[in-house]
Amino acid sequence: MEGPGEKDARAEVDDMLKAPVDTTRMRILAWLREPALAETGVTAEAVATRFGLTHPVALTHLRLLTAIGLLHATPIGGRVHYRRDEVRIADVARHFEKGW
């Protein structure tokens, strides 16, 4: 039997899986694993430059990853910095490991 928190997490992950597939988001998450980026994160401008995207496209990817809980968005010096939410990412990975 599922507890209330587990049911909510499953619904969030189900919503995440309905998002269009784009390997750019996976590449962004992998890049943000680098130790130099883990603490402060990166701006949309940095993502756009790194992956050859326009600023609006980079921002869309970052906002989607934030909306599904895989990134934290923190304002620093007038810009929003995005970094991984390792707890949430581990939670999603556990759901996949369970083979739901």
pLDDT in tens, 5-63: 555 656 665 655 555 556 899 899 999 999 999 888 999 999 999 999 999 999 999 99
Work out the angle at residue 18's Cα, subtended by the Cα atoms of residues 46 and 94, and round it to the nearest 5 degrees.
80
What pLDDT is attached to residue 85? 94
Question: What is the C-alpha R_g of the chain?
Answer: 14
Q: Rounded to two decimals, what is the model's pTM?
A: 0.76
What pLDDT is attached to residue 1? 44
What pLDDT is attached to residue 38? 85
C-alpha dist (Å) from residue 80 to 56, 75, 93: 14, 4, 26
CA 97 to chain centre: 19
pLDDT of 71-100, one tens digit each? 999 999 999 999 999 999 998 888 777 775
Q: With beta carbons less than 8 A apart as the criterion, state whether 71 and 82 touch.
A: yes
Beta bridge partners of 84: 71
